[in-house]
Every structure is written in C-alpha cells, then in structure tokens.
Structure 1
C-alpha cells in the first residue's frame, strides 16, 4: 500500500505532476515523446521559440529523475528500453489526490 508521504513526494515537483496528470488520464503505455510534448506545452504559455532545447531538457529530466522516481511505486511502470511509461492499478488514495491536484492546477489552461 502506498503511503501519503510517497504520494506527496511524487506530487512535490511540478514537472513530475504534469507527467502524472497526463499518464493518469491515458489507458496503456504512453511514449516518452508524447509525454514530453504535452509537458512542454503545459509549461510554456506562450511557447518559446527555442522549443527543441526545451524538449531535450524535459527528456533528460524525465528519464534521469522523474520517471525512475515514479517507477518506485508498483502502479507506475517505466520501460526505459521501450521508451514508454504507464499508470496501472493505482490505489484509491492516489486516485483521490491526483483528481484534486489536477483540478486545482489545471495545467492545460495555462
């Protein structure tokens, strides 16, 4: 069972929250590139001209920091070799916090 400390730790970083929001709403594995594009859109309002540099920064940050951290819980699977990640079988406690956080933050609205 996932603890509240673990949930709060997962939600403590904005970029990781954005990744989790997107993954949480998808069924099945999500390609890292798709996840990065969404995060880049949500972080940049309006989008910057130097979007490739931003894209690369997000890829590195996700692959080396945020996705390995999220994969520490049993309901998030990160398959680095296949370049996909997914949320599957999240406990109700996590569902509740994700729903509330997503509603409060509304990243796609800028």
Structure 2
C-alpha cells in the first residue's frame, strides 16, 4: 500500500524505510522509455538482465536490440536506480531489485494511461 508521509516522500508502507523522493519519482517517469521499462519490470522477478528488457521493448521502441541495450545500460537503468525505484547492478547488467515499483505504481499507471 502506498502512503504519503510528507509532500516530498512516498513510502510503500509507513515506517518501512523504503522512502522514495517525489521529485525523483517524477523525474523517473518523465521519460517514455523509462515508463516502459518500469511496466516491463513490474511483472518480472529479479534478477532481470538488460538483454531481456531490450527484447521486451524492441518492437515498441523501434531501436535494434544492441542500441537499446546500450541506452538502457548507460542512461535509463542508472537513472531509475538513482531515483530509488529499482536497483541496477552495472557489473552484472541486471536489475536486481524492483520491489519499489509498487510505491510508484499509481503514478506509473496514470502516465501510461495518458500516453494512449
């Protein structure tokens, strides 16, 4: 369950220590590709390799897999990691934790609906 304990923090449940800053959430969701990445990740169990994410998004994004993998590795996944929504391991090229996607789910759903 998502609760807000201040205008600037979002937590999955009160007191669980999983705070995500609201500005970071909106920054993470500001990019269409990052929203699509989160949509893919919310249904996967970690670890999720970059190659798997690229394969899932290839047809939607229109890039070839290698270009998409590079963009995910260097830009999108580190940005999502910095926001606190996921944990990305650059050494293994895998998303190792995506449990906090639940905390931003209402915002993600709204953004995805508005894209249609």
> Does 2:110 align with 1:100?
yes
What residue is the counterpart of 1:64 in the other structure?
74
Q: Larger relative CO (CA 8 A, sep 6+): 1 or 2?
A: 1
Distance 1:89 1:7, change over 3 A: closer
> Does 2:30 align with 1:12?
yes
What residue is the counterpart of 2:46 in the other structure?
28
Give RMSD over aligned pairs: 2.0
Spell out structure 1 runs of 4+ moving beyond 4 A. none
The structure with the largest strand share of the pair is: 2
TM-score of the superposed pair, with normalisation by structure 2: 0.70
What residue is the counterpart of 1:88 in the other structure?
99
Question: Aligned residues, how many?
Answer: 97
Matches within 5 A, 1:41-60: 41-44=59-62, 54-60=64-70
- What are structure 1's unaligned runs of at least 5 residues? 45-50
The structure with the largest helix share of the pair is: 1
- What are structure 2's unaligned runs of at least 5 residues? 1-18
Deviates more, 1:82-91 or 1:63-72: 82-91
Q: Quote how far apart the aligned CAs of 1:78 are.
A: 0.6
Structure 2 distance, partners of 1:32, 1:19, is 10
TM-score of the superposed pair, with normalisation by structure 1: 0.73
Assess if the C-alpha contact under 8 Å between 2:38 and 2:101 holds in 1. no
